[in-house]
Chains A and B, each alone.
Chain A
């Protein structure tokens, strides 16, 4: 494996809950290479969500190292983390998390607004990203005028628009029916083929099966880490 895009060493995360300390992560080590398609699985309480927050730079670890695209990000301030999220990470959420009053185009433009991109360039890059997910003709629609699958595609376009190092998807098909889920998985497979690194957190085995590699967490530790056959690949 060449220089990994993500290098995690002995990552721990403790939460203080009143007098008790909850150990969500108890020393996770993980390398993820460029253009990998990785699924993180695990039952609830396994530390899956915490792991997703860590990788997504939404949270900082209690201990350990996290190198993202050659940069140690575990000790950064809130605002520095915001910059890293903006540049390196494209989020896809279970509930889509689109701004309800904004059009598809404006939703996709949002990361570029915080990157300080001029409005003309934002427009052209956002419409290109929407074109990539097959929604070039839905740019002026608001989320409530779109189907679930279309909404998730808008979210994927938004995640891609800043050309992030990783696409981080949290249960991306959790709110979709199986046909639509399959469609979204096709989009992911295509992006992966184009060279995108994808990390997907899911508890559905058949969704995880689309990835090339599956990491299973249990009790805050890596239980298994094995290559799988991408069904769609």
Chain B
């Protein structure tokens, strides 16, 4: 009997007994739903973390020269904390030294920041990230301006009180007015707004638009960059290759500048987006490893249910098997019929599971800030798993059917 015929026959049988079939494939359905949903959420998180998180917080092909890591993953011991705190901080002079000594063409931006309150006309925007940096920062962050302009190198050199503001700050303080040229105050000092940055959206539900950017030399520096100290130096290379080379050069320059002996540990840190992602990678690895366990439990249960249903089906249809054998069905025909029926049943379950899993992933995306992206391989895996579970579960019942004596089977009620 050709297998297509067997599939058709199986679908017919499933249609004839819809409710029974549904209950028998619910185990596989749940298993595959899990599989698809979890893989989708993890994949979505991966994409999100790699594209958005890493780039929003650090930037493409970019690294930071810092005193210590700012994204820590796993266990940081007290000793490590103490060692980190003892390290010298990154100074203006460190940055200048690096800029003078690194030969790979890269873009630099000094960076300091703090939380500040911005006031305008009696209104206050609280908890705004005040960034003090260089004009190159706008290129590194790939910020587009919807109004005005970034500050220029001369304004930085002169330390002028000019401000480029995030879209949420503009909305909060300067809604309905042209923000350009308006005077806002921070720490009681007046600043002139010269530009507004395009909306950046959210990261895990947190706004990326609550910031203001000023030259790091501007008057408020004494609150955010005390005594020549930078939070970190941002270094952006043109590609992953030059970034590796630049990192080597920055490390070597810093070691020379700080007189570190060979074998002595670095007393500074180069933060890359990969390093920032380390924590997430650990979590996703755990999820992906735990997933097969979770899924296989429901699949084993699903397989056992299908096997039982098939055993019942074989004994209910003994007469049919007898008829088929009398009319010329060989053992392998009967075997194929029941294995295919079982596999079809299970695959139908898997297909429903795939649909439900995708739906679940989309629901998660809609109601939580967690993004979900359906991985095509997980759909393929779902189908394969469905077919396999059905076939394995079907073999024993099908074998029983195939071995029936046609004379006995024909006499069955």
Residue ranges of A at the interface with B (Cβ–Cβ < 8 Å)? 53, 56, 58-59, 78-79, 82-83, 85-87, 91, 93, 97-99, 101, 110-111, 113-116, 119, 158, 162
- Chain A residues with CB below 8 A from B2, complex form: 116
Give complex CA distance A58, B2 in Å.
24
With A53-B407, A97-B319 in contact, is A111–B330 under 8 Å at CB?
no
Q: Are B328 and A97 within 8 A (Cβ)? A: no
With A110-B324, A113-B1, A114-B1 in contact, is A93–B330 under 8 Å at CB?
no
Counting chain A CB atoms within 10 Å of each CB, which of B16, B329, B331 scores highest?
B329
Residues of B within 8 A of A (CB-CB), count: 23
- Chain B residues with CB below 8 A from A98, complex form: 323
Counting chain A CB atoms within 10 Å of each CB, which of B13, B333, B406 scores highest?
B406
With A78-B331, A79-B331 in contact, is A101–B12 under 8 Å at CB?
yes
Give complex CA distance A98, B326 in Å.
12
Q: Are B323 and A86 within 8 A (Cβ)? A: no
Q: Are B323 and A87 within 8 A (Cβ)? A: no
B245 to chain A, nearest CB (A): 67
Q: Are A79 and B320 within 8 A (Cβ)? A: no
- Chain A residues with CB below 8 A from B5, complex form: 113, 119
* B327 at interface, CB cutoff 8 A: yes
- Chain B residues with CB below 8 A from A91, complex form: 326-327
- Chain A residues with CB below 8 A from B203, complex form: none
- Chain B residues with CB below 8 A from A99, complex form: 320, 323
A87 is contacted by which of B12, B319, B328, B333 (Cβ under 8 Å)?
A: B328
With A101-B12, A101-B16 in contact, is A93–B410 under 8 Å at CB?
yes
Contacting residues of chain B (1-60) with chain A, CB-CB under 8 angstroms? 1-2, 5, 12-13, 16
Q: Are B12 and A86 within 8 A (Cβ)? A: no
* B332 at interface, CB cutoff 8 A: yes
* B68 at interface, CB cutoff 8 A: no
Q: Are A158 and B327 within 8 A (Cβ)? A: yes
Q: Are B331 and A115 within 8 A (Cβ)? A: no
* B325 at interface, CB cutoff 8 A: yes
Give complex CA distance A99, B319 in Å.
9
Q: Are A86 and B327 within 8 A (Cβ)? A: yes
- Chain B residues with CB below 8 A from A83, complex form: 328, 330
- Chain A residues with CB below 8 A from B333, complex form: 82, 114
- Chain A residues with CB below 8 A from B329, complex form: 82, 114
A32 to chain B, nearest CB (A): 20
Give complex CA distance A78, B5 in Å.
22
Q: Are B326 and A97 within 8 A (Cβ)? A: yes
B404 to chain A, nearest CB (A): 11
B325 is contacted by which of A82, A87, A93, A162 (Cβ under 8 Å)?
A: A82
Q: Are B327 and A114 within 8 A (Cβ)? A: yes
Main secondary structure of the interface of B (DSSP, over half): helix
Interface 1/0s, chain B 382-413, versus A by CB < 8 A? 00000000000000000000000011001000
- Chain A residues with CB below 8 A from B1, complex form: 113-114
15 pairs across A/B with beta carbons < 8 Å? A58-B406, A58-B407, A78-B331, A82-B329, A83-B330, A85-B327, A91-B326, A97-B322, A99-B323, A101-B13, A110-B327, A113-B5, A114-B327, A114-B328, A115-B328
- Chain B residues with CB below 8 A from A97, complex form: 319, 322-323, 326, 410
Q: Are B328 and A86 within 8 A (Cβ)? A: yes
Give complex CA distance A7, B323 in Å.
26
Counting chain A CB atoms within 10 Å of each CB, which of B326, B329, B407 scores highest?
B326
- Chain B residues with CB below 8 A from A101, complex form: 12-13, 16
Give complex CA distance A113, B325 in Å.
12
Give complex CA distance A113, B5 in Å.
8
Q: Can you name 19 extra interface pairs (CB under 8 A) apart from A86-B327, A110-B323?
A: A53-B407, A58-B406, A59-B407, A78-B331, A79-B330, A79-B331, A82-B325, A82-B328, A82-B331, A83-B328, A85-B328, A91-B326, A91-B327, A99-B323, A101-B13, A110-B324, A111-B328, A114-B333, A158-B327
Contacting residues of chain B (293-323) with chain A, CB-CB under 8 angstroms? 319-320, 322-323
Give complex CA distance A116, B325 in Å.
15
- Chain A residues with CB below 8 A from B16, complex form: 101
- Chain B residues with CB below 8 A from A110, complex form: 323-324, 327
Give complex CA distance A176, B395 in Å.
40
With A79-B332, A97-B319, A101-B12 in contact, is A111–B327 under 8 Å at CB?
yes
Counting chain B CB atoms within 10 Å of each CB, which of A53, A114, A162 scores highest?
A114
B362 to chain A, nearest CB (A): 38
Give complex CA distance A114, B327 in Å.
8
Q: Are B330 and A82 within 8 A (Cβ)? A: yes
- Chain B residues with CB below 8 A from A93, complex form: 410
A157 to chain B, nearest CB (A): 13
Closest A-chain residue to B408, C-beta based?
A58
A59 to chain B, nearest CB (A): 6
Give complex CA distance A98, B322 in Å.
11
